[in-house]
Structure 1
């Protein structure tokens, strides 16, 4: 290695870029110099040439030399704490939320902090003419458990795709009123939660449909607004007439076998415009007062988001194609419209959670936090100062996609996010958690490291994120919103990662079809972990029916990812797995019952059943690595919401989940091998 390469390696290491990683087969991939330079540039560290590498190293060394105290300290909230530094320093502690003074003093041998409420603080120290700021993260020791929140040790629930719900009253796409109805139904049969895909904002002017590729995770999806349940328009004759005129269009959209996203969105947006005009003319208190309070509480972040939405109506949904809009004033009336829509969505989702709890769901809603925002969308524009540029989050090849994945999503640049006191991340968490009893963080491995793929064609590489700090932020926000947290920990999991997350109170994610030993045998369900959510499938995996019939294998062959010989081999392995799972279930009469009997008898604290599997659907919601080749995010359920209560399989599943006794480790079970 020549001296210049050594300096590049040193700079990359200082900036958290991993020098190598192992893939699913254990092969080592070394991060190339070109990838190192691309990732460094993405986080704002110049590395285009030997000279800029040296300049960046010199700058980092100088900054480190100037500091006497650490940049960040994590403490346990509620307890006094001694910081082993600060001798002779005058110090002031302020809360980051409002910058109000919390404490101050002059350090002797150290700095003594009083018991702090959970939150983020700035500790300003002064020694002579030198001033430094230390970031203090005061977090609870652990996340809340299911038992501490609900008084019971284990719960089961139903997960579904909100967009897929059919009903006699929606506008052709599942909405928040449908979700409230589903929650009531689930509560009546003994479930503890209802989970849905992310409800993040998708962009008013954008045509994207994947809920895992949102425009902004800090705001809500307004296409799920129930048009017939707008607060302030209850009993409005004008509002009723506006909707009644579109009855035939609603009927056509409801009748389609797949979600007609673009016709639905065009109609929905037009009607929201019309209903906003009615709201301005007719709405009486408390609705207008509640709207203004919502806008005031949301602060400049909502204003900034509304500015993006208003500009996107003029210049298009991809801000990277916009002209210089710094001198352009967005239409204030359109901004008001977009803020109103966020209030309506928030009001309806809040009401859904209230009704879910009233129906007996101990946790209520289970909401999903997506990995990142679409690079063309609002969050990537609003939070540019904290986001890595010219790279996308993705994943190397794994069991979900043999070609690897480029998700075209933005990632936070670690140092930039820290300098912002994690505010963008905190806002996103607060929005997702505020109306949920439990939140699932998709691809929670991203808290530890992000696989970034440069736009310039270089191979991807990993950058390490500030794991302990991000965990502290999650614990702070979860405590404020009184909820539990699940970390989806599938894929290339670093050593000890799962143990670390469990120690902080996260629930892991156990997908039955992947619960195998290194020799390919299914693990004994009785020896499974309790601190997990256990399920058979996710939105990215085969459903029970799809697994049984090899639907995913057929798709892989159809797309050319595997040849005929590989497909036959995969189907033979699947047949063995199918038989092994059936043997484990013992007295179950069919594969569907076998799978759910195994889940019901598992020691998992949370058990999730997909509505797809209850209804016997074969196609997965999404096939990773595809966009239009597979009907991703488009399928509707074959049964309407109003008819689900009559569906015999739902009551049978409820009885199984409610009355099953978890299998203890000492109990004898059948052979767990897939041979």
Structure 2
């Protein structure tokens, strides 16, 4: 076989796409350089023809030596048949168990009784060799809205947690603000309160503010801890709320961190035996993930935020696990404990306020390559590549997110533990859970560091969907999969079959004729919204604020700006001219929310920014410092939202359309 044929076969066997269809519908081949780079990222030597041939031979030998499949996905509660290549003796160990659940012998098929939900291990021996099969037993699908809330439709509000304004916070929204906002929205009939990701950004990486660039998705951001809610917090710690339209991170950070250290010092000195026992139980339950995270926080404080520049011995978590945790780790563990308590309290208070789903949390697509999650992942991490996206309607220039990618083979080799743990941790305190860029569950676009063009690699879609269903059922959480971008054929249908709700953004929902799709025609099994943190607000869309920003930043010239504004004027007329019965006093925001209320989608979300008439977007993709991303504060304090005319009118529109109940106080 030729070297080119070997490379093509190895790439195909490792799930690397030989081509993909771009934004214009043109098939783009994956170059040999890209194939080699992606193979190396996944753990296969492929620099030369000899290395490719050797890697291919090793892969073939591994497959030929197997007695049973490496992995099977089955429906929990049903009997299982596993083919075997020779006569074997087998043992089944259930997830979380230390002893053998069943054992026996087989010649052609191992027959197992119905299995509970979980990732189990089937071990087989025979003919002088042994094999292990991952048996993923999952429900047919994730829970649906009626199964969790007994409602066919629901609505909610999405807000930027960091931007929440209150009379008690010091300029950055916190978990107490979140709880109080939920208690305001619940009586209005809202079924959920959504927020940006609250993943840990890294104690040493004080300059990082984007919630979509986390250090670890399985841990929480202590910057959102409400100081006044901490046992032992200094008196008057929140006595002087910060003003201004933009968040002053430089002023907030040092003051907030000093208060956190003071509260921890008080805990160490005065905590009761019961409190210490509760803290110890939290740390024990957090297991390796939590301890590794705390260890990373200590190391990054001492050696810098980029783990790839640390001394060699520190780059490998397995070497560090043999040593005792540093004393400073206690502080980071304690902050995670308190953040878990406060976020859990916010979710409980949201549910107690009448919300059927409570909090609606967001899972970022990945973690920073230099962060804690990448350090903890070990061999599950793809090497020398970044997650991104090819050019699409969201970003015509393509995107490099500088986020770590999990290698399918390496992740499976760890029984998907990093992915499963993050899901489990993230679903602890929510009834609705959004997976950002859910397309990555099916295929990921990897961009090599060596300058080779990016390419797609297939992910273990069936296994990941099964694991999501397991964790969603355990948490009784409804799942939303953000499915924007270049969507593979059949992806949305499969996602729906597995119980996930799609994500329909009105700004992107157009017919082939270029007209906005009627909200009555949106996918029923989806969450509908006008926009996201990356798109213009309703007021901004109508005014063409995003177009003005493109011109201000030099992305388009004056002539292009005028053309874009003319198109936007036409789009605005089309959008606001959709069928409905608008009242004479309806604003554009009211008209959009009326359409969302009557949408066929089961879930409808409105942005707090839209309700409050905000014109500027939270984020402008393609910018870092040029636009005040992740810095905008809400113009209205939480305490003033009760009885707010825009919020009350939105709630009334939703109730009239059959989404929840609302008794108008007027």
> Does the Cα contact within 8 Å between 1:174 and 1:224 map onto a contact in 2?
yes
User: Among 515, 519, 529, which residue is 1:525 paired with?
Assistant: 519
1:16-75 superposed Cα distances (whole Å, 9 cap, x missing partner): 111111122112222111111111111111111111111111111111111232110001
1:352-371 equivalences in 2 (<5 Å): 352-371=346-365
Q: Distance in 2 between matches of 1:30 and 1:81?
A: 40
Query: What secondary structure, in the 3-state scheme, does the structure 2 residue paired with 1:541 have?
Result: coil
Instruction: Please report how far the alpha carbon of residue 87 of structure 1 lies from its aligned counterpart in structure 2 after TM superposition.
Output: 5.8
User: Among 643, 646, 650, which residue is 2:643 paired with?
Assistant: 646
Instruction: Please report how far the alpha carbon of residue 564 of structure 1 lies from its aligned counterpart in structure 2 after TM superposition.
Output: 3.0
Instruction: Please report how far the alpha carbon of residue 625 of structure 1 lies from its aligned counterpart in structure 2 after TM superposition.
Output: 1.6
* Residue 609 (structure 2) pairs with residue 612 (structure 1): yes
> Does the Cα contact within 8 Å between 1:86 and 1:125 map onto a contact in 2?
no
Residue number in structure 2 paired with 1:571: 565
Residue number in structure 1 paired with 2:43: 44
> Does the Cα contact within 8 Å between 2:234 and 2:263 map onto a contact in 1?
no
* Residue 113 (structure 2) pairs with residue 114 (structure 1): yes
TM-score (norm 1): 0.93
Q: Distance in 1 between matches of 2:22 and 2:410?
A: 28
1:176-575 equivalences in 2 (<5 Å): 176-206=175-205, 207-230=207-230, 233=231, 236=232, 239-241=233-235, 243-244=236-237, 247=239, 250-251=240-241, 254-326=242-314, 332-575=326-569
1:496-553 superposed Cα distances (whole Å, 9 cap, x missing partner): 1000000011000011111111221222322222100000001111110111011111
Instruction: Please report how far the alpha carbon of residue 261 of structure 1 lies from its aligned counterpart in structure 2 after TM superposition.
Output: 1.7
Query: What secondary structure, in the 3-state scheme, does the structure 1 residue paired with 2:67 have?
Result: coil
User: Among 560, 579, 582, which residue is 2:576 paired with?
Assistant: 582
Residue number in structure 1 paired with 2:65: 66
Residue number in structure 2 paired with 1:89: 88
Residue number in structure 1 paired with 2:662: none
Q: Distance in 2 between matches of 1:449 and 1:3?
A: 28
Q: Distance in 1 between matches of 2:410 and 2:218?
A: 18
Residue number in structure 2 paired with 1:124: 123
Which range moved further: 396-405 or 376-385? 396-405
Q: Distance in 1 between matches of 2:554 and 2:12?
A: 39
Instruction: Please report how far the alpha carbon of residue 106 of structure 1 lies from its aligned counterpart in structure 2 after TM superposition.
Output: 1.5
Query: What secondary structure, in the 3-state scheme, does the structure 2 residue paired with 1:350 have?
Result: helix
> Does the Cα contact within 8 Å between 2:153 and 2:658 map onto a contact in 1?
no
Q: Distance in 1 between matches of 2:101 and 2:405?
A: 33
Q: Distance in 1 between matches of 2:495 and 2:312?
A: 44
> Does the Cα contact within 8 Å between 1:87 and 1:110 map onto a contact in 2?
no
Instruction: Please report how far the alpha carbon of residue 405 of structure 1 lies from its aligned counterpart in structure 2 after TM superposition.
Output: 1.0
1:420-460 superposed Cα distances (whole Å, 9 cap, x missing partner): 10000000101110111010000000001111111111111
Query: What secondary structure, in the 3-state scheme, does the structure 1 residue paired with 2:359 have?
Result: strand
Which range moved further: 580-589 or 484-493? 580-589
Residue number in structure 2 paired with 1:592: 589
Query: What secondary structure, in the 3-state scheme, does the structure 2 residue paired with 1:286 have?
Result: helix
Q: Distance in 1 between matches of 2:578 and 2:87?
A: 66
Q: Distance in 2 between matches of 1:559 and 1:545?
A: 20
Structure 1, unmatched stretches of 5+, are 663-675
Q: Distance in 2 between matches of 1:612 and 1:484?
A: 24
1:445-486 superposed Cα distances (whole Å, 9 cap, x missing partner): 000111111111111111110111100110111111111100
Structure 2, unmatched stretches of 5+, are 660-666
Q: Distance in 2 between matches of 1:350 and 1:101?
A: 36
Instruction: Please report how far the alpha carbon of residue 300 of structure 1 lies from its aligned counterpart in structure 2 after TM superposition.
Output: 2.1
> Does the Cα contact within 8 Å between 2:193 and 2:359 map onto a contact in 1?
yes
Q: Distance in 1 between matches of 2:557 and 2:48?
A: 44
Q: Distance in 2 between matches of 1:638 and 1:419?
A: 49
Q: Distance in 2 between matches of 1:296 and 1:111?
A: 37
> Does the Cα contact within 8 Å between 2:69 and 2:83 map onto a contact in 1?
no
* Counterparts in 2 of 1:565 and 1:646: CA distance versus 1, 3 Å: same
> Does the Cα contact within 8 Å between 2:195 and 2:361 map onto a contact in 1?
yes
Instruction: Please report how far the alpha carbon of residue 302 of structure 1 lies from its aligned counterpart in structure 2 after TM superposition.
Output: 1.3
> Does the Cα contact within 8 Å between 1:438 and 1:483 map onto a contact in 2?
yes
Q: Distance in 1 between matches of 2:169 and 2:370?
A: 29
> Does the Cα contact within 8 Å between 1:165 and 1:173 map onto a contact in 2?
yes
Query: How many positions carry a matched residue from both structures?
Result: 649
Instruction: Please report how far the alpha carbon of residue 660 of structure 1 lies from its aligned counterpart in structure 2 after TM superposition.
Output: 1.8
Q: Distance in 2 between matches of 1:153 and 1:586?
A: 21
* Residue 105 (structure 2) pairs with residue 102 (structure 1): no
Residue number in structure 2 paired with 1:35: 34
Residue number in structure 1 paired with 2:164: 165
> Does the Cα contact within 8 Å between 1:205 and 1:313 map onto a contact in 2?
yes
Query: What secondary structure, in the 3-state scheme, does the structure 1 residue paired with 2:263 have?
Result: helix
* Counterparts in 2 of 1:330 and 1:569: CA distance versus 1, 3 Å: farther
TM-score (norm 2): 0.95
Q: Distance in 2 between matches of 1:105 and 1:566?
A: 73
* Residue 586 (structure 2) pairs with residue 625 (structure 1): no
> Does the Cα contact within 8 Å between 1:80 and 1:116 map onto a contact in 2?
yes
Instruction: Please report how far the alpha carbon of residue 331 of structure 1 lies from its aligned counterpart in structure 2 after TM superposition.
Output: 6.2
1:595-632 superposed Cα distances (whole Å, 9 cap, x missing partner): 11111111111100000100111111111121111111
> Does the Cα contact within 8 Å between 1:103 and 1:114 map onto a contact in 2?
no
